[in-house]
Amino acid sequence: MDKHWYYTQAAKSWARLMPRIKPLLNSVDFEKFSARTAVHFPTLFELLHRLYGDQYDFLFHLENILSRAAMCLRDRPATLKHLDDVREANPDWYQSHSMMGAVCYVDRFSGTLHGLQDKLDYLEELGITYLHLMPLFECPPQKNDGGYAVSSFRRVNPAIGSMEELSALSDTLRARGISLVLDFVFNHTSEEHDWAQRALSGDTRYQAYYHMFDTREIPNAYEQNLREIFPEQAPGSFTWRPEINKWVWSTFFSFQWDLNYANPELFAAMLEEMLFLANQGVEVLRLDAVPFIWKKLGTNCENLPEAHLLIQAFNAIVRICAPALLFKSEAIVHPRDVQSYISPAECQLSYNPILMVCLWDAVATRDARLLTKTLTKRFALPKSTAWVNYIRSHDDIGWGFADEDAAEVGINGADHRYFLNQFYTGSFPGSFARGVPFNYNPITRDMRISGTSASLMGLEEAIERADDLLTEHAIRRIILCQSIVLAVGGIPLIYLGDEVGTLNDYSYRKDPHLAEDSRWIHRPNFDWIAAAQRNTPDTITGRIYQQLRHMIQLRKTLPMLSGGNTTIFDVGNPHLLVFSRKDKLIVVGNFSDRNQNIQLGAYVPVANDNILQDLLTGEQFNGAIGVDPWQIRWLIPADATNRVADAAPEA
């Protein structure tokens, strides 16, 4: 089918469908709907046709999908319609240097949604403008994968609160300049979701919402090419359900059933759940596990072209009925595939696991060459998209750098992963890290790493050994990496607790429901007693918190830190990461235990012939710049410092 054919067919369908949509909406909304569909319907038509065009009842599904979009607009609260207008007028709002993200589990941070109200001052003090509340939906009490096995997208876990509270919270947050971010766990549901329950009771309509097979034949054929995601806890990708004598596709845990997006009815059903969430006031949806949403025999069923078509179709619909909403991709895969989801028409935002992994590599090796190489090749993004940069999440750390990038700096990928695993589990001689293995695969000998950033950076060991220098270096490593996250370009994201140096929590081992999943080591209850020391400068908590908060506040005064425009420099010193932002600010980070000296002028044009001032320490340099072990500098030409000092922080 060529573009022209799609265009003509779309125009015909649009002309036929609009009169049917009209009675659903009031005249103001209908006008908006018409204007937006005039722009986005041709794209939507083509995407849906490429996915479902061979279904005999394609036009029925098309109409159904468009009506759901209309009903979303009809039901959208006035405040959110207003927000739509504001965001449409300023679509790049999230590129602002004022943006600062935080993520937490509500139960572990504040107990309940109600309790969160009392913690908003804390978030504001830290400068947070983007708050990701980890899955808080109804889920099975035990088999829930930290909330990623959702039983209802419309009900909040009653232990945490209610959907009404969540929706009210989104308004409160917005009034404080904080955007609410939620997960859309759309690759699978829990086995307790109503659809799964109906499927289990034999209802074939709902069985078709999932991937189910009567015999092992087809699952075996698929498994030839599938990767095991949780090989230790949930080997294989299919689960036998004796109630219905069927194998059910379950990429992750056996109780998480993959949804079948080849079924347009399922697409429409999930669309409805998504639009429901959009109307609760969520501004960014984190699309969980995007690589896995389409299956095709003979492939590894990851990152297939149809996965992109699906997300683009969701996106086109959102542009029509809830345009304030953005998508963030969660694809923790090969860097090339990570990038494939990022575009204004698909996911405007994406986690940046590439930076995350290379930061940990540089910390372990004291060598920033892979970091420099990778950022040079892969950091730049299309216009109107942004990275969400972070050093750790609620998940494990897996060594997802590209082997070809590693080869370019003389590293063998497989050997290096082995080294990194040894290093971060503390087995490598001299390692300061206190990580634990996650999903060791005895066949490939692969594993991933769990641990809080402070414990992985050496703080736990340093405190245990009561060693001041080790403590100082561990703190500097934390600040160095967080500082890069703050300056490199994109939305910085912190896992709440990291700002006060939270260490590993080994108590999960005593809970039989958590013990098998080492990720719980880095998801402890927020330590409010430790946090109370955050403004006491001579405590470890205070040293971390105050430096971090200072950098966050400083960032908000530096317009050159907005958006992208990052230039990476190879300055010939393997320990240094050097980059500039919009040719106005130069960042120099030292990944080593020793002082380094660098004549920046030879490499970085803006450094040439300029006296440089470090905004973090106030020092000035005329000529060579010294960088202490694990130190980071934010340098700007000295004549520009006055202007920066005068600029008031942006709200």
The single residue of 84, 107, 265, 288 carrying the catalytic annotation is 288
Q: Could you tell me the smallest distance in angstroms from the CB atom of residue 145 to ligand OTU?
A: 5
Identify the residue among 46, 84, 107, 145 touching ligand OTU (CB under 6 A).
Answer: 145
Which positions from 376 to 405 touch ligand OTU by CB under 6 A, shown as an x/- string?
Answer: -------------------xx---------
* 148 in contact with ligand OTU (CB under 6 A): yes
Kindly tell me which of 185 and 577 has the beta carbon lying closer to ligand OTU. 185
Q: Which residues contact 100 (CB under 8 A, 6 or more apart)?
A: 126, 127, 128, 129, 130, 491, 492, 494, 552, 555, 556
Site string for ligand OTU, 472-501 (x = CB under 6 A): ------------------------------
The residue range among 141-149, 413-421, 451-459, 635-643 that interacts with ligand OTU, by the rule CB under 6 A, is: 141-149
Candidate list 73, 333, 578, 598; residue touching ligand OTU; CB under 6 A: 333
Residue with tokens 């908590």: 541
Q: Which stretch binds ligand OTU (CB under 6 A): 77-85, 326-334, 372-380, 610-618?
A: 326-334
From 258, 330, 461, 614, the catalytic residue: 330
447 lies in the binding site for ligand OTU (CB under 6 A): no
Q: How far apart are CA 495 and CA 229, in angstroms?
A: 23
CB neighbourhood size of 164 (10 A): 11
Helices (H), 488-628: 528-531, 540-555
- Our CB check for ligand OTU shows the closer of 145 and 283 to be 145
The two beta strands, 596-598 and 625-627, are antiparallel
- DSSP states of 328-379 as a string? EE---S-HHHHHHTBSTTSBSEEE-HHHHHHHHHHHHHT--HHHHHHHHHH-
Q: Which stretch binds ligand OTU (CB under 6 A): 140-148, 318-326, 464-472, 498-506?
A: 140-148
User: Which one of residues 291, 323, 497, 501 is an interface residue with ligand OTU (CB under 6 A)?
Assistant: 291
Of 246, 521, 247, the closest CA to residue 237 belongs to: 247
**Binding region for ligand OTU (CB under 6 A) out of 116-124, 327-335, 425-433, 548-556:** 327-335
Q: Is 330 labeled as catalytic in the residue annotation?
A: yes
3-state secondary structure of 318: helix
Q: Count the Cβ atoms, other than its own, within 10 Å of residue 5.
A: 11
Q: Which of residues 158-217 bind ligand OTU (CB under 6 A)?
A: 185
Number of amino acids touching ligand OTU (CB under 6 A):
15
Q: Which residues contact 14 (CB under 8 A, 6 or more apart)?
A: 37, 38, 41, 42, 45
Let me know if 510 is exposed, middle or buried by CB neighbors in 10 A (0-12, 13-18, 19+): exposed
Q: Which of 289, 402, 560, 568 binds ligand OTU (CB under 6 A)?
A: 289
Least distance in angstroms from the C-beta of 366 to ligand OTU: 27
Convert residues 547-586 into a mask of x (bound to ligand OTU by CB under 6 A) and - (unbound).
----------------------------------------
Which position has the token pair 């722009």? 39
Contacting ligand OTU within 37-56 (CB under 6 A): none
**Smallest separation (angstroms) from ligand OTU to the CB of 348:** 18
Nearer to ligand OTU, 12 or 513 (CB): 513
Q: Any catalytic annotation for residue 223?
A: no
Smallest distance, ligand OTU to C-beta of residue 469, A: 35
Residue type, 521: I
H/E stretch holding 88:
helix 78-89
> Which structure tokens are listed for 429?
């001689």
Q: How far is the CB of 229 from ligand OTU (least distance, A)?
A: 5
Structure tokens at 328: 């963030």
**Piece of 55-63, 285-293, 356-364, 576-584 that binds ligand OTU (CB under 6 A):** 285-293
Cβ–Cβ under 8 Å, residues 476 and 630? yes
**Cβ-based nearer residue to ligand OTU, 92 or 228:** 228
**Least spacing, CB of residue 5 vs ligand OTU, in Å:** 35
What residues contact residue 284 under an 8 Å CB cut-off, 6+ apart? 94, 130, 132, 179, 180, 181, 182, 325, 326, 327, 328, 349
Residue 451 Cβ vs ligand OTU, minimum distance, rounded to whole Å: 14
Q: Could you say which of 107, 191, 192, 288 contacts ligand OTU (CB under 6 A)?
A: 288
Among 115, 146, 413, 605, binds ligand OTU (CB under 6 A): 146
Enter the tokens of residue 37: 């569909």
Give me the least distance between CB of 148 and ligand OTU, in Å please: 3
Binding status of residue 83 toward ligand OTU by CB under 6 A: no
The distance of closest approach from Cβ of residue 392 to ligand OTU in the complex, given in angstroms and rounded to an integer, is 12
Least distance between ligand OTU and beta carbon 274 (Å): 16
Restricted to residues 295-314, the positions that interact with ligand OTU (CB under 6 A) are: none
Helices (H) and strands (E) in the chain, counts: 24, 25
Region of 89-97, 239-247, 283-291, 423-431 interacting with ligand OTU (CB under 6 A): 283-291
Q: Is 168 helix (H, G, I), strand (E, B) or coil?
A: helix
CB of 303 to ligand OTU, least distance (A): 9
Cα 563 to chain centroid, rounded: 17
Q: What is the DSSP string of 616-645?
A: TT--EESS-EEE-TT-EEEEEEHHHHHHHH
Residue ranges in 239-268 that form contacts with ligand OTU under rule CB under 6 A: 252
> Which residue's CB is nearer to ligand OTU, number 132 or number 476?
132
Assess 332 for contact with ligand OTU (CB under 6 A): yes
Q: Under DSSP, is residue 213 helix (H, G, I), strand (E, B) or coil?
A: strand
What is the four-CA torsion angle of 626, 629, 634, 635, rounded to 10 degrees?
0
Our CB check for ligand OTU shows the closer of 132 and 246 to be 132
Tell how far CA 21 is from the center of its chain: 35
Q: Rounded to an integer, what is the distance from CA 289 to the centroid of its chain?
A: 10
On whether the CB atoms of residues 292 and 258 are closer than 8 A, the answer is yes
- The letter for the amino acid at 236 is G
| Residue span binding ligand OTU (CB under 6 A) among the ranges 143-151, 170-178, 189-197, 459-467 | 143-151
Q: How far apart are CA 586 and CA 608, in angstroms?
A: 12
Task: Give kind and range of the element (H or E) at residue 79.
Answer: helix 78-89
Q: Which of 258, 283, 330, 460 touches ligand OTU (CB under 6 A)?
A: 330
CB of 227 to ligand OTU, least distance (A): 10
Task: Give backbone dihedrals phi and psi of 284, rounded to 5 degrees, phi first.
Answer: -135, 130
β-bridge mates for residue 111, sequence order: none
Residues engaged in binding ligand OTU (CB under 6 A): 145-146, 148, 185, 229, 252, 288-289, 291, 330-333, 395-396
Please give the positions annotated as active site.
288, 330
